[in-house]
Chain A
Amino acid sequence: MSAGENSLPPEAADALAAVVALRRLADQLEDAAVEQAMRAGWSWPQVSEALGVTRQAVHKKHAKRLIAAGVKLRRRGDERV
């Protein structure tokens, strides 16, 4: 057992805070990137495949916001050939 086991080393605080900050940055990036893709005419299946999550998850997280922002969303069957 190490002596400092019960203390809170500052490096741990920095590492944990970095996790929080990275999550926030990732969320901001996701919001911006999904909006950019949808404005550029990507479909939900394409965006979800790029992010590696289900279409439902992407839709649930972003659809309302993008519709409110006036982004024209492609509907199913609208796929480009």
Chain B
Amino acid sequence: MSAFDKYLHAVIVRAMDEAQDDGSATIDAHHLLLSLAADHGSTAQQVLASVGLDRAAVREALDREFEHSLSVVGVSPAAYDLPGPSHASQQPKMGASARLALERSFSSARKTDLRSAHLLLGILQAQIGTVPRALALAGIDQAELADRVLQTLNSQDQ
């Protein structure tokens, strides 16, 4: 296993924990984003932090997106007062949005050149879905953030 393979494995394992905490049967792109934001010291985490996105801020943006999307059809999650369920015991599987993000990451560089920032880039290349909506609600310019990632990658290459 290359260093990047090990890193990728760790990112996915953390994303799986996030999915499980979410009660989600699938690992989605936003779980990968949470995982990257929590990975202290990595380039991806540093770029996210430079626009104020630590793990808690990403989580907050995702919660806002959830509530906002429900409000569009007149539903308020706070209206339900059920006790929280016990967490799922089975492992969440890779979902479609996470697969797409990884595919975009892998096609953004040669395999031997892949780094944490490429994973973030793959997630940020999505134009549609939970991640773009959550970032927009948090007032983050997604295109500018993606540019920042690219600049960081280019400066590391020199």
Which residues of A pack against B, CB within 8 Å?
8, 13-15, 17-18, 20-22, 24-25, 27-29, 31-36, 64-66, 68-69, 71
Distance A8 CA – B94 CA, assembled complex (angstroms): 27
Contact indicator B133/A66 (Cβ below 8 Å): no
In this complex, what residue of A is CB-closest to B80? A29
Distance A24 CA – B25 CA, assembled complex (angstroms): 10
Cβ contacts B59-76/A at 8 Å (1 or 0 each):
000000110011011010
Which of B31-39, B82-90, B115-123, B139-147 participates in binding chain A? B82-90
Distance A14 CA – B129 CA, assembled complex (angstroms): 10
Of the candidates A17, A24, A31, A36, the one whose C-beta lies within 8 Å of that of B133 is: A17
Contact indicator A28/B86 (Cβ below 8 Å): no
Residues on the A chain within 8 Å of B69, using CB? 14, 17-18, 20-21
Which residues of B pack against A, CB within 8 Å?
23-25, 65-66, 69-70, 72-73, 75, 77, 80, 82-90, 128, 130, 133
In this complex, what residue of A is CB-closest to B133? A17
Among B23, B83, B85, B130, which residue has the most Cβ atoms of chain A within 10 A? B85
Of the candidates B65, B84, B86, B133, the one whose C-beta lies within 8 Å of that of A65 is: B86
